[in-house]
Amino acid sequence: MRMKVLSRLQRYGLAIISCGIALAVAWPIDAPSSCFLLAVTVSSLFGGLGPGLLSVALSAFVFEHFFLWRTFAPARESATLLRFAVFLIATFLITVLMEIKRRVEESGVRSQEALRMAQSDLAHVNRVTTMGELTASLSHEVNQPIAAAVTDANTCLRWLTRDQPDLEEAREAASRMVKDATRAAEIVSRIRLIFKKGSPQRELVDVNEVIKEMTVLLRNEAQRYSIAVGMKLSPGLPDIMGDRVQLQQVLMNLIMNAIDSMKTVDGTRELIIQSQPSENEQVMVSVIDTGIGLPKHQADQIFNAFFTTKVHGTGMGLRISRSIVESYGGRLWAADNTPRGASFHLTLPSKAEVHE
């Protein structure tokens, strides 16, 4: 636990000062061993290996010089030397053990860091593959407003090139054009944001906004499979503390799973995304479908890494989603619906105590 806040000079200074204090305290009471052991402990703990060894050398010198031979009697020479040897070994051991402890802790921190990076890489891959599956829908989503803008541009030209140009009509067509082009640009930038790889941010996020954004992106995919999408968003929910892209990813995984589960069912295909306040100032989001329902006898495994019942599934969507939600101090769980389908619920604390 070498303190990062102390400079090298300060850490060596600490070693010298603590030995000085040990000398001042030990001198009148003649108790050098315990005082210097304490000085060495303090120096190694807060200073690290170098200052620790310096304090060992200093206290050995002072101990030998001022204390060891104080009550010397020639008959006890070997006992005195032994006492000194034990002192030396003890101080040296303390320094070495502290150093080992520090290294172990540091490598623990490093491997946790590596784990976090691997998780964020995995999350990125998951996002990119999911978006890949959506290419057809997303390009439709972008093409639609662009096509509308082209139509508007033609209309605008027609109004202008008439014998008697109608400026009012032309202006209206032009402003529709601006709106459509802006919508296309917004969709593209949203998609780009999801593809982007970056370290997660902590920001205040309006959950309803994220839900609306994802519904825009996935609306077309739902339409392709004749799925009706409904939103029941509770107004005035508190913002939650989290990363917008990560939350979009969680919703994308849940919605894509819901769509997958309804692709083959006969009868109503309905997807409902709901937000509501929950106890302890939490926000609860639910994704409810009328699909095939959770896999029989295996419902408890769906959050496991690599568990999938799909031919081309990765089995990572729910695993990643749960770890994102839990990193915000929330929960993600699933339940079967009656008469059919599944619901996924997640809670997010609004005054998040962020768990790393």
Is 317 an interacting residue with respect to Mg ion (CB under 5 A)? Answer: yes
Q: How far is CA 125 from CA 119, 168, 213, 326, in A?
A: 10, 50, 21, 20
What minimum distance in Å lies between the beta carbon of 308 and ligand ADP?
3
Q: Which is nearer to ligand ADP, 5 or 311 (CB)?
A: 311
Is 291 an interacting residue with respect to Mg ion (CB under 5 A)? Answer: no
Is 249 an interacting residue with respect to Mg ion (CB under 5 A)? Answer: no
Q: Is 213 helix (H, G, I), strand (E, B) or coil?
A: helix
The residue number with the shortest CB distance to ligand ADP is 317
What minimum distance in Å lies between the beta carbon of 342 and ligand ADP?
4
Pairing of strands 342-349, 282-288: antiparallel
Q: Which is nearer to Mg ion, 317 or 341 (CB)?
A: 317
Pairing of strands 228-233, 240-242: unpaired
Q: Which of residues 47-66 bind Mg ion (CB under 5 A)?
A: none
| Rounded Cα–Cα distance for residues 15 and 56 (Å) | 9
Q: Binders of Mg ion: how many residues, by CB under 5 A?
A: 2
Nearest to 274 by CA among 338, 346, 224: 346
What minimum distance in Å lies between the beta carbon of 321 and ligand ADP?
8
Q: Which is nearer to ligand ADP, 45 or 318 (CB)?
A: 318
Contact criterion met (CB below 8 Å) for 339 and 287: no
Nearest to 241 by CA among 277, 201, 272: 201
Q: Which is nearer to ligand ADP, 144 or 323 (CB)?
A: 323
From the number of C-beta atoms within 10 Å of its C-beta (0-12, 13-18, 19+), residue 104 rates as exposed
What, of Mg ion, ligand ADP, none, does residue 278 touch, CB below 5 to 8 Å by kind?
none
Q: Which residues bind ligand ADP (CB under 6 A)?
A: 253, 257-258, 261, 289, 291-295, 302, 307-310, 313-319, 342
Q: Given the rule CB under 5 A, which residues bind Mg ion?
A: 257, 317
